[in-house]
């Protein structure tokens, strides 16, 4: 044991030996050995205290201290002892001490940020608190039950159901539970309302799958907009001269008659206004009653209390408040144009911000020099670029047509029996073509192109351009190969891109954005959009909408179409800026003139109700074949 536990020379030990903590595998004699008493003065003893390679003093009860420091201590007691190195401060990584408790500021900084009210977590909490309050009292569950197991499905997609249930939770909390909870504490009433709405939504989804959405959105609805534009301009550009005067609203109502908007309200006769509002409210109730009579099962129709409440929710809160009153306001339509234009400009200018900074010095040099003249080198480079553009365009068109041939046809074999093609179609309102007749048309013959031409007044501004485009359309439809005919390569390609834009995957983000606009913080907050208080403010808002649209148009094309100068004038003093400003204001005036078709609330209501009727008839053809009383008698006997 003495040989094992004898003195150990410090020069033969690695530096890690002095960092080794107390170990149990050392000999027992060394473990219980007492350190030798050193009779040296306190400063000398302190200076002779052995340190590790990192300057750490060895403990007195360690074997390293008892075995190796005895000779060193004796040497330190000698009068000619060599000066030792000062102890090095302890590094932070050697032995971490206890961490200090976090301060109050650190605890506040570590708290999670405010939850986004549009996030999935906040949306789920909103739905659970409002629509699943009974399940919140069940504390025995370790994990919450998914919402799709607590509530009936509204559609076939869970992401869409989440957004729709968020809308229902806000509407029921603000407009139903606010007064119903004061009457009774029964919570089954909300569940019954949700059950009825779920029945309607699932039935509507099944009917939506049978509707040709691309024809509805790009052919039939633009046809109604085209009629609205024509009727509005006809009503506000009367042929008669004073003293014969005709009310534009009466002329418009005569061209587009709707019984729910009769009589035409007059400012000097308040009775006509109140009577028209009563007729409009009755029409909305009849319309919702007919829809519920088709969609709801018989046992739900026999509950008059629930059906009456659902009728009020749909007829007043949705149709009356949103579609008829808000969507038909001219100022709100102009604000929507400004917001849409701003979003599109931000989206387009974001990827171009990096390239704009790199090209800015060269542009400034060109402006300083006043532009470069013609040269043989420039003409040669321009011809090369033109040739490359031509070859790339031909290659792109060829590859596109080759890809279009592999796309599925627009008409399936089961649909071809009921399809009326463009060759057989003479008039959509022919006696043999009822409202439920399935009419297919090529994409290039959709009414959206005619509507756009009518909106920008192409027939009066550039009739030659309208004739040229009509000639191209006829050649693509009836020419060799019928490239743009029904189920042709161009028709399949356009239909494929339209269906990709109308895919259900885009519906949930759209509903989420709409909820954030209508209900900020998941509550009916104060709107940041206020109606103008005078005609001057409305005119200024229309001017701002025209400027927003002007920013979206290509400058050269817009100047060419609206009769502006294609080439800027050379710098010629202070008058140059005034001329450019007057030219710009004149072009914006022309664009503002086109927006006047949205300037009358009463005429806009005709358009909104016409679109609503068209969508409901395409979804439920029974509404055009039978009356509301007849539909209810068939269901209830």
Q: What is the DSSP letter of 187?
A: -
pLDDT of res. 616: 94
- State the angle between helix axes of 304-312 and 270-295 in degrees (0 to 180), rounded to the nearest 10: 130
* pLDDT surpasses 90 at 27: no
pLDDT of res. 77: 42
Instruction: For residue 572, report the phi and psi dihedrals to the nearest 5 degrees.
Output: -140, 50
Q: What is the DSSP letter of 429?
A: T
- Is residue 439 classed as helix, strand or coil in its secondary structure? strand
CA dist 311 and 285 (Å) reads 7
CA dist 596 and 594 (Å) reads 6
In a domain, 422, yes or no: no
In a domain, 30, yes or no: yes
In a domain, 466, yes or no: no
> Which among 531, 534, 601, 610 is positioned nearest to 277, based on CA atoms?
601
Tokens at 475, concatenated: 């050649």
Annotate 286-309 with DSSP letters as a single string: HHHHHHHHHHS-HHHHT-HHHHHH
CA dist 26 and 4 (Å) reads 10
Strands annotated E in 460-502: none
In a domain, 63, yes or no: yes
**Tokens 């808000």 -> residue:** 326
In a domain, 28, yes or no: yes
In a domain, 72, yes or no: yes
* pLDDT surpasses 70 at 45: no
CA dist 2 and 75 (Å) reads 23
* pLDDT surpasses 70 at 15: no
* pLDDT surpasses 60 at 106: no
Tokens at 354, concatenated: 């990096």
- Better-scored residue on pLDDT, 471 or 525: 471
- Is residue 18 classed as helix, strand or coil in its secondary structure? helix
- Mean model confidence pLDDT for the chain: 76
Instruction: For residue 412, report the phi and psi dihedrals to the nearest 5 degrees.
Output: -85, 165
- Is residue 257 classed as helix, strand or coil in its secondary structure? coil
pLDDT of res. 256: 95
pLDDT of res. 608: 96
Number of domains in the chain: 1
Domain that holds residue 28: 10-76
Burial 190-206 (b: 16+ CB within 10 A, else e): beebbebbbbbbbbbbe
Instruction: For residue 177, report the phi and psi dihedrals to the nearest 5 degrees.
Output: -70, -20
CA dist 306 and 171 (Å) reads 16
Cα torsion 109, 111, 117, 123 to 10°: value is 160
Tokens at 384, concatenated: 């090369």
Most confident of 32-46, 55-69, 114-128, 501-515: 501-515
In a domain, 552, yes or no: no
- Better-scored residue on pLDDT, 323 or 600: 600
* pLDDT surpasses 90 at 517: no
Most confident of 39-43, 128-132, 379-383, 605-609: 605-609
Whether 435 contacts 613, CB under 8 Å:
no
Instruction: For residue 262, report the phi and psi dihedrals to the nearest 5 degrees.
Output: -105, 150
**How many helices (H) and strands (E) would you count in the chain?**
30, 0
In a domain, 38, yes or no: yes
Tokens at 303, concatenated: 């509950």
Mapping DSSP onto H, E and C, the string for 405-434 reads CCCCCCCCCCCHHHCECCCCCCCCCCCCCC
pLDDT of res. 87: 53
Whether 602 contacts 326, CB under 8 Å:
no
> Which among 538, 486, 513, 141 is positioned nearest to 329, based on CA atoms?
538
């Amino acid at each position: 044991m003495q040989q094992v536990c004898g003195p150990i020379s410090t020069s033969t030990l690695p530096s890690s030996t002095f960092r080794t903590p107390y170990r149990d595998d050392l000999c027992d004699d060394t473990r219980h050995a007492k350190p030798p008493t050193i009779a040296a003065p306190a400063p000398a003893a302190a200076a002779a205290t052995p340190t590790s390679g990192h300057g750490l003093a060895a403990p007195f009860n360690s074997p390293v201290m008892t075995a190796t420091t005895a000779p060193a201590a004796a040497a330190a007691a000698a009068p000619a002892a060599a000066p030792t190195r000062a102890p090095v401060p302890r590094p932070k990584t050697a032995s971490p001490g206890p961490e200090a408790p976090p301060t109050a500021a650190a605890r506040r900084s570590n708290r999670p940020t405010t939850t986004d009210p549009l996030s999935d977590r906040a949306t789920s909490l909103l739905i659970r608190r409002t629509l699943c309050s009974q399940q919140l009292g069940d504390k025995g569950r370790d994990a919450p039950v998914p919402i799709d197991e607590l509530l009936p499905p509204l559609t076939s997609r869970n992401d869409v159901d989440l957004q729709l249930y968020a809308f229902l939770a806000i509407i029921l909390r603000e407009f139903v539970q606010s007064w119903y909870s004061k009457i009774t504490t029964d919570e089954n009433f909300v569940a019954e309302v949700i059950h009825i709405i779920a029945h309607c939504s699932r039935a509507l989804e099944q009917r939506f799958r049978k509707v040709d959405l691309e024809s509805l959105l790009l052919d039939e609805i633009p046809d109604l907009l085209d009629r609205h534009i024509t009727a509005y301009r006809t009503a506000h550009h009367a042929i008669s001269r004073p003293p014969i005067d005709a009310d534009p609203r009466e002329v418009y109502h005569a061209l587009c008659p709707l019984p729910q908007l009769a009589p035409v309200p007059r400012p000097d006769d308040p009775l006509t206004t109140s009577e028209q509002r009563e007729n409009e409210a009755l029409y909305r109730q009849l319309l919702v009653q007919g829809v519920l009579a088709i969609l709801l099962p018989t046992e739900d129709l026999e509950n008059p209390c629930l059906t009456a409440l659902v009728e009020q929710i749909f007829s007043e809160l949705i149709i009356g408040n949103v579609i008829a009153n808000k969507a038909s306001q001219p100022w709100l339509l102009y604000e929507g144009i400004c917001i849409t234009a701003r979003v599109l400009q931000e989206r387009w200018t974001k990827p171009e911000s990096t390239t704009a900074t790199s090209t800015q010095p060269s542009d400034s040099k060109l402006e300083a020099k006043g532009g470069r003249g013609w040269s043989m080198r420039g003409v040669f480079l321009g011809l090369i670029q033109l040739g490359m553009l031509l070859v790339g365009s031909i290659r792109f068109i060829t590859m596109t047509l080759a890809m279009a041939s592999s796309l599925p046809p627009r008409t399936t074999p089961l649909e071809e029996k009921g399809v009326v093609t463009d060759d057989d179609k003479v008039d959509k309102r022919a006696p043999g073509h009822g409202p439920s007749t399935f009419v297919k048309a090529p994409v290039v013959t959709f009414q959206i192109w005619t509507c756009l031409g009518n909106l920008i007044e192409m027939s009066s501004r550039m009739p030659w351009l309208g004739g040229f485009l009509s000639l191209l359309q006829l050649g693509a439809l009836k020419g060799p190969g019928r490239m743009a005919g029904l189920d042709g390569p161009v028709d399949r390609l356009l239909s494929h891109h339209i269906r990709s834009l109308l895919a259900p995957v885009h519906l949930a983000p759209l509903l989420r954005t709409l909820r954030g606009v209508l209900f900020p913080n998941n509550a009916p907050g104060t709107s940041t959009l206020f109606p103008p208080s005078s005609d001057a403010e409305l005119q200024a808002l229309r001017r701002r909408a025209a400027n927003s649209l002007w920013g979206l148009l290509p400058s050269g094309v817009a100047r060419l179409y609206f009769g502006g100068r294609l080439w800027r004038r050379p710098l010629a003093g202070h008058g140059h800026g005034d001329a450019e400003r007057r030219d710009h204001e004149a072009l914006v005036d022309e664009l503002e003139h086109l927006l006047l078709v949205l300037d009358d609330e009463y005429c806009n209501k005709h358009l909104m109700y016409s679109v609503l009727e068209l969508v409901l008839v395409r979804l439920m053809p029974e509404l055009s074949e039978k009356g509301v009383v007849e539909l209810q008698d068939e269901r209830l006997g």
